Amino acid sequence: MATADEESDLSQALDALDDVLESVGVERVHLGVASATLLAIVARLYDLGARTAHWDEGRVGYWILQYMQTGNYEYRPIIHGPFYHHVNSFLFDALGTSDFTMRLVVAVAGGLLPLTAFLFRDRLRNAEMVALAFFLAANPVLLYYSRFMRGDPLVGAFMFTAFALFVRSIDTGRHRYFYPAVAFVGLALTVKENALIYPVTWAGATVLLLDHRLFLARDGQARWPTVLKRYVRSTGSAVRRWAVPLLLAPVELLAIVVFFYAPRAATDDGPGLWKAFGQPSMFQDVIYEGSVGAWKEFWGLWIGGGHQDHSYLPYLGDFLQTMAQGAVVLSALAVAGFLVDRYSGRRPRDVVSFAFYWGFVSILGYPIITDIKAPWATIHAIVPLTIPAAVGVGLLYRWGTDAYAERNLVDVGLVAMILLLVGGQIAVASVDAVYRNPQSGDNELVQFAQPGDDVKPLVATMVAARNETDTQVLFYGDYYVDGAEDAEREPACVKWFNSLPMPWYLEANDLNATCAESEREVRDAVATSQPPLVVVRTPKRGDIADDLPNYEPRYYSFRAWGTNSTVFVHEDYADRVPGRIPDASKSARSASDTAEPTVSGSAEPSA
């Protein structure tokens, strides 16, 4: 049992801390949320460029570089919205082209996301706000993918911020929160089209909240039809009070969407946003292409294109597997927080129930609408579940403080142990998945098209040889080479999607590649240019090994599993590239060495 003196000392220490914070206009909750935000920013920026670019990062990064060179852009739904094209082209120009730079926007957005906890200050207790901030900062899935140039983490961050601002505008009745909320919705739509799913889930959650109210009305004096009429009248009054913002919101939304989606045509014929300022008659076409035209393209591919024609249960199983590794504690606390908030106290809090329904429906719904098995889809369920999970932590905190006030050290110790286990599990999972094994096929957060090995030594070798030879890498074999020299993508001769992310690194570092379709072409290329690297699928390495007497083999997986390749390194550069012998037992999910990956082929795959 705590002594009276010990309790008094702790109370005095807390009072002294409050006095110091109050003198500078700060409360403990501010300190907690700020600490979580600082943690989030540091965790995201630390060694941000270390991981080898994922297939999808390489693909989009390459297209951004092409946009920078030509000044031409038109919406292609297969690579999703234009946000990264416009924002990262600016960053590449200002800060240089690198893996760090291409991930900087999403890292900063994820790092600042914990600040949204303050927007719920009329809905959540102080301890719950701090817990919410730390969940947004440290959840392994959110942390991993906010260090990844992908649309989903930005959509999740922007739409959660929009939701928080909408809630704050309702709580305060102030329009100044409403317009930024609409802006964040618009930005989310420019990142990826699945932002459209959020208003659908919000509408469903709103219906369930209304059902809450009507259900609770049974215990009151009024019958449910009377309560429903009351809500309809109050909603009508709110719409009248907010008539101007509600009328301006579509204009604001359209302006943001059109600005990003509008074509750019610096050298191409046809409409272009900047070109229209010199030819005002072109604005009509620009606005059409940035709105209706983009919608038609989106609908034709993602709604009518058959990308969701797959079995549901395998996709749900994969989704739940990722949740089990990256959000199992958060999910358990979310269920506990929802149930306690719903069934204790006078009435459940709308924001807690709303967020739980939003997250739960996302778990059930995303396996239907996603076109590939991808861990990043879980972001859209995890982000809303942070709110009821924070309520679960708040419950533990209150249990602990009440126990301390009653001098019950057993309960205090139990709460402390639970909180340490929660924090420890999240910390261990994050460190392992995000920093120690960010490319491992055994990591459930890693998607198949992530190279399993560090490609950076190969890139450094090619850069070092840039001034010594005209060709820095030679590709051989039908897996890598199609011989289509007139293709628009560079290197033109390769099966471009099979070779990703190498085209990103080649383009970003101004490197040259060539191809060989036969052993004779390999011999000729080596004799004339002595490329420092020769890349071939491992099953084909025996075809050319005798033709490369001055080269040493190194083994690389350019996907998380099942696609081992051999990189022959010229002896002059061999000390720069560490060797690796493939291990068939590397991953429980290993595929055969000769299996074609899902992203192979000459047509552009979806992602």
What are the tens digits of pLDDT across the range 288-298?
999 999 999 99
pLDDT of residue 601: 36
Element (H, E) at 7: helix 4-23
Element (H, E) at 587: none
pLDDT classification of 9: cutoffs 50, 70, 90: low
Element (H, E) at 367: helix 350-369
What are the tens digits of pLDDT across the range 102-134?
999 999 999 999 999 999 999 999 999 999 999
d(CA 73, CA 68) in angstroms, rounded, equals 9
d(CA 209, CA 198) in angstroms, rounded, equals 16
Listed residue (291, 230, 294, 234) closest to 79, CA to CA = 294
d(CA 33, CA 189) in angstroms, rounded, equals 28
pLDDT of residue 18: 66
Residue of higher predicted confidence among 42 and 468? 42
| Minimum mean pLDDT range among 102-106, 203-207, 308-312 | 308-312
What are the C-alpha distances in Å from 105 to residues 41, 170, 172, 335? Answer: 11, 29, 30, 32
| Minimum mean pLDDT range among 383-387, 447-451, 484-488 | 484-488
Whether the CB-CB separation of 263 and 289 falls below 8 Å is answered with yes
pLDDT of residue 289: 94
| Minimum mean pLDDT range among 49-53, 344-348, 474-478 | 344-348
Residue 584 token pair? 């068939």
Q: Residues 68-99, buried b or exposed e (16+ Cβ, 10 A)?
A: eeeeebbbebebbbbbbbbbbbebbeeeebbb
Listed residue (144, 120, 154) closest to 327, CA to CA = 144
pLDDT of residue 596: 40
Whether the CB-CB separation of 307 and 301 falls below 8 Å is answered with yes
pLDDT classification of 6: cutoffs 50, 70, 90: low
d(CA 121, CA 591) in angstroms, rounded, equals 50
Listed residue (560, 600, 567, 576) closest to 453, CA to CA = 560
Residue 161 token pair? 């911020």
Contacts for 316 with CB less than 8 Å, ≥ 6 apart: 364, 367
pLDDT classification of 17: cutoffs 50, 70, 90: low
d(CA 106, CA 143) in angstroms, rounded, equals 10
The reported pTM is: 0.91
Residue ranges per domain, the chain? 25-436, 456-576
Element (H, E) at 598: none
Taking 3-state DSSP, the helix, strand and coil percentages for the chain, each rounded to the nearest 5, stand at 65, 5, 30
pLDDT of residue 472: 96
**Predicted confidence (pLDDT) at residue 307 exceeds the cutoff of 80:** no
Q: Where would I find the beta strands (DSSP E) of 481-600?
A: 513-516, 533-537, 551-557, 564-570
What are the C-alpha distances in Å from 276 to residues 66, 89, 191, 260, 269? Answer: 22, 21, 24, 15, 12
pLDDT of residue 46: 97
pLDDT of residue 302: 84
- Among residues of the chain, what percentage have pLDDT more than 70? 89
Fill in the DSSP letter of residue 604. Answer: P
pLDDT classification of 5: cutoffs 50, 70, 90: low
d(CA 371, CA 599) in angstroms, rounded, equals 12
Q: Would you call 501 helix, strand, or coil by DSSP?
A: coil
- Region 492-508: what's the mean pLDDT? 95
Whether the CB-CB separation of 144 and 438 falls below 8 Å is answered with yes
Bridge partners for 565 per DSSP? 537, 556
What are the tens digits of pLDDT across the range 38-56?
999 999 999 999 999 999 9
pLDDT of residue 118: 97
Q: How far is CA 449 from the centre of its chain?
A: 15
pLDDT classification of 597: cutoffs 50, 70, 90: very low
Residue 73 token pair? 């852009």
Phi, psi of 569, deg, nearest 5: -110, 130
Whether the CB-CB separation of 446 and 375 falls below 8 Å is answered with yes
pLDDT classification of 487: cutoffs 50, 70, 90: confident
- Region 247-270: what's the mean pLDDT? 93
What are the tens digits of pLDDT across the range 511-548?
999 999 999 999 999 999 899 999 999 999 999 999 99
Fill in the DSSP letter of residue 371. Answer: S
pLDDT of residue 390: 98
Q: Would you call 93 helix, strand, or coil by DSSP?
A: helix
d(CA 337, CA 393) in angstroms, rounded, equals 8
Residue 330 token pair? 């958060």
- Region 203-227: what's the mean pLDDT? 74
pLDDT of residue 607: 57
Mean of per-residue pLDDT scores for the chain: 89
**Predicted confidence (pLDDT) at residue 599 exceeds the cutoff of 80:** no
Q: Are strands 473-476 and 264-265 parallel, antiparallel or unpaired?
A: unpaired
pLDDT of residue 589: 38
d(CA 324, CA 139) in angstroms, rounded, equals 12
Listed residue (175, 186, 315, 314) closest to 245, CA to CA = 175
Return the CATH number of the domain spanning residue range 456-576.
3.40.190
**In sequence order, what DSSP letters do the residues of 137-175 get, joined into one string?**
HH-HHHHHHTTS--HHHHHHHHHHHHHHHHHHHHHH--G
pLDDT of residue 309: 83
**Predicted confidence (pLDDT) at residue 603 exceeds the cutoff of 50:** no
d(CA 98, CA 545) in angstroms, rounded, equals 33
Listed residue (99, 97, 131, 102) closest to 117, CA to CA = 131
- Region 162-172: what's the mean pLDDT? 97
| Minimum mean pLDDT range among 55-64, 499-508, 538-547 | 538-547
Alpha-carbon dihedral angle through residues 416, 418, 422, 428, given to the nearest 10 degrees: 80
Listed residue (282, 579, 259, 563) closest to 441, CA to CA = 563
Q: How far is CA 582 from the centre of its chain?
A: 30
